[in-house]
Amino acid sequence: MVRQLSIAMLATAMTFIPITAHAQDSTNAHILAVVDTFFEGLNTADEEMMASVVVEESIVASVRESEDRPDLRVSSIEESIEGLLDGGSYYEEYWEPVVLVSGPIAVVWAPYLFESDGERTHCGVDVFNLMRLDGEWMITGIQYSVVRDGCPPGR
């Protein structure tokens, strides 16, 4: 009887594993779609597309290593988007994203490379902070490192 109960409990528990994994995959896909929308807007110079997936009060912070000390730059998302749309042509791609989710908050961590007017300028790591607001995932902050040397080949 105990063995039958254990088998029944194990079988019941195993039926929930695919549902949980599928739900997590679906959530991750929604989160990455938001990041992809932001990058599509960046890569096509579409300010409205980028703004559609960020909270207006979002902050962007970058850090560049230097000989003296790290160079930290912080700006509003609005200032960052305006700076990216100053007439240049930009392309950024990321790969192997790590997505962490806890209820209504999520983080996406991914290495990236960046090109300006067709020339590789730097690479590093992007970190996107997101929150699920009114049922939609939105970017609430972006942090990234800037590395000028040793960037991997891109596209």
Angle formed at CA 129 by CA 53 and CA 55, multiple of 5 degrees: 35
Answer yes or no: pTM beyond 0.85: no
Q: Are residues 95 and 114 in contact, defined by beta-carbon separation less than 8 angstroms?
A: no
**Which amino acid is residue 19, in one-letter code?**
I
pLDDT in tens, 101-119: 999 999 999 999 999 988 9
The predicted pLDDT at position 155 comes to: 56
On the CB side of 74, CA atoms within 13 Å amount to 6
The predicted pLDDT at position 18 comes to: 42
pLDDT in tens, 117-139: 889 999 999 999 999 999 999 99
State how far the Cα of 25 lies from the Cα of 17, in Å rounded to an integer: 12
Q: How far is CA 126 from CA 12, 78, 103, 110, 119, in A?
A: 40, 18, 22, 5, 19
Mean pLDDT for 86-96 is 88
Q: What six digits make up the tokens of 112?
A: 């990236």
pLDDT in tens, 2-47: 444 444 443 444 333 443 444 578 889 999 999 999 999 999 999 9
On the CB side of 1, CA atoms within 13 Å amount to 0
Looking at residue 85, the DSSP 8-state letter turns out to be T
The predicted pLDDT at position 65 comes to: 79
The predicted pLDDT at position 105 comes to: 98
The predicted pLDDT at position 34 comes to: 98
The predicted pLDDT at position 129 comes to: 98
Residue 87 Rama label (left phi>0; alpha psi -120 to 50; beta) = left
The predicted pLDDT at position 67 comes to: 74
Mean pLDDT for 82-111 is 92
Q: What six digits make up the tokens of 146?
A: 């800037």
Q: Cα 38 to chain center, whole Å?
A: 9
pLDDT in tens, 48-76: 999 999 999 999 999 997 777 788 999 99
